[in-house]
Amino acid sequence: MIAARSSSVGRGGPEEPSRHRRQSVASLAGHRGYRNSQESNRDSHAQHQQGALLRARKAFLIREMETNWYLKLCGRAREDSVAYETGMPYRNLGKSGLRVSCLGLGTWVTFGGQISDEVAEQLMTIAYESGVNLFDTAEVYASGKAEVILGNIIKKKGWRRSSLVITTKLYWGGKAETERGLSRKHIIEGLKGSLQRMQLEYVDVVFANRPDSNTPMEEIVRAMTYVINQGMSMYWGTSRWTAMEIMEAYSVARQFNLIPPVCEQAEYHLFQREKVEVQLPELYHKIGVGAMTWSPLACGIITGKYENGIPESSRAAMKSYQWLKDKIVSEDGRKQQAKLKELGHIAEKLGCTLPQLAVAWCLRNEGVSSVLLGTSNAEQLTENLGAIQVLPKMTSHVVSDIDHILGNRPYSKKDYRS
């Protein structure tokens, strides 16, 4: 029994390790093969990506050569452009194809009110010659006088209409109940009135100057679609609308095969950030609505001129701007002035003024299609236009320092989840 068992062990003993070794070798070989296969796939993918990049670059260079060749045949060159001559950057208005200067000139308070017609012409001339192609107004500005002055200047200067982007806003027209709001009647008649005052055949963008709870959204969108189809406007947008209202307009347009808005006009500056930095980016990615922002200097607060009180020549000294004066002298206003002093140190390091820093800060947001400037004299406008040179200096480190001073960076729900 012992011998038999021993014989059995002797027969089976030497075979077991051999079988394990064969299995281990096979397993190792399989693992190596899998690993080699993975590495081969990665190498193949990397080579494919590299090849695709090379092909794309080659195609780009070929297109560039063809473009330069074509322009040369036509007696033109890439340098024959306002962007090249002035250094003004241009951006798409939302996801539309309309190219607008990243800085525009607004006419609120100034045209027809705070400044003379001669100064208005001087401002528009400086802006246009600096590469600005966007000029914004509204039927309510100076009771329509701003539109008249804007139109007179365009006609006098003889600028090509195709080189301009003119926008106006509708809501407050005349005193009659039917001359205000966003009814089909007022949108059509109001825009006709604006065109007559500006002596133009069309505007590039017509804005709904505020939401209208008395008019169905479908009626608003149908009326905007009508004026576009009639050639009275190229696009339409919203101003002071909530993200929910803009989304409703878009949904109605898609439901009835109408034209949706392309842009929202919103207040945006160092002390007002939530809407432009949280709400509008989501709308841009979902439905292509861009942002055209106004009041980059917070009605002059950010210029620092209210640090030691209210100057007599300032906007806050005007009777109709008591609300601005109250805001400046409030506790929050004093806190803002303290923060502006700190921001002034950053401006000094960058070699610019505080207004230039503030405007460049707005422009550093890639979701902003254009920032509307409102100035009352040539010196202010020239200074603000200088923000273009400050923009390249707005590094992540500089922006982080500004955020630290302000302490008001808004966060979306996605930021909290991450």
User: pLDDT digits over 227-280, tens only?
Assistant: 999 999 999 999 999 999 999 999 999 999 999 999 999 999 999 999 999 999
Q: Quote the CA–CA distance of 151 and 129 in Å, as a whole number.
A: 17
Residue type, 212: D
| Spatial separation of the C-alpha atoms in residues 355 and 342, rounded to whole Å | 14
141, 235, 268, 321: which one is catalytic? 141
Flag whether 379 is in a domain.
yes
What distance, in Å, lies between the first and last C-alpha atoms of the chain? 72
The predicted pLDDT at position 2 comes to: 43
The pairing of strands 290-294 and 263-267 is parallel
- Coil, helix or strand for 238? strand
How far apart, in whole angstroms, are the C-alpha atoms of residue 316 and residue 199?
33
What's CA 220's distance to the chain center, in Å?
A: 24
d(C-alpha 324, C-alpha 299), whole Å: 8
- Which among 349, 357, 214, 235 is positioned nearest to 296, based on CA atoms? 357
In angstroms, the CA 220 to CA 225 distance is 9
In a domain? residue 294: yes
**CB 196, CB 159: distance < 8 Å:** no
Residues (pLDDT < 70) of the chain are 1-43, 71, 77-80, 308, 313, 315, 413-418
For residue 271, the domain's CATH number is 3.20.20.100
Q: Does residue 379 contact residue 114 with C-beta atoms inside 8 Å?
A: no
Contact (CB, 8 A) for 30 and 36: no
The total number of residues written for the chain in this structure: 418
Q: What crossing angle do the helices spanning 117-129 and 145-157 adopt, rounded to 10°? A: 60
Residue 120 falls inside a structural domain: yes
Question: Is 283 within a domain?
Answer: yes
Residue 290 is given by DSSP the state E
**Residue at 384 is within a domain:** yes
Judge whether 33 lies within some domain: no
The confidence score (pLDDT) of residue 313 equals 65
Inter-residue contact 290 to 296 (CB < 8 Å): no
Concerning whether 411 is annotated as a catalytic residue, the answer is no
Asked, for residue 118, whether it belongs to a domain, the answer is: yes
Total domains present in the chain: 1
Q: Which residues contact 179 (CB under 8 A, 6 or more apart)?
A: 173, 186, 189, 190
3-state secondary structure of 327: helix
Going by the DSSP 8-state scheme, the letter that residue 272 receives in this structure is B
Q: Which domain holds residue 239?
A: 82-417
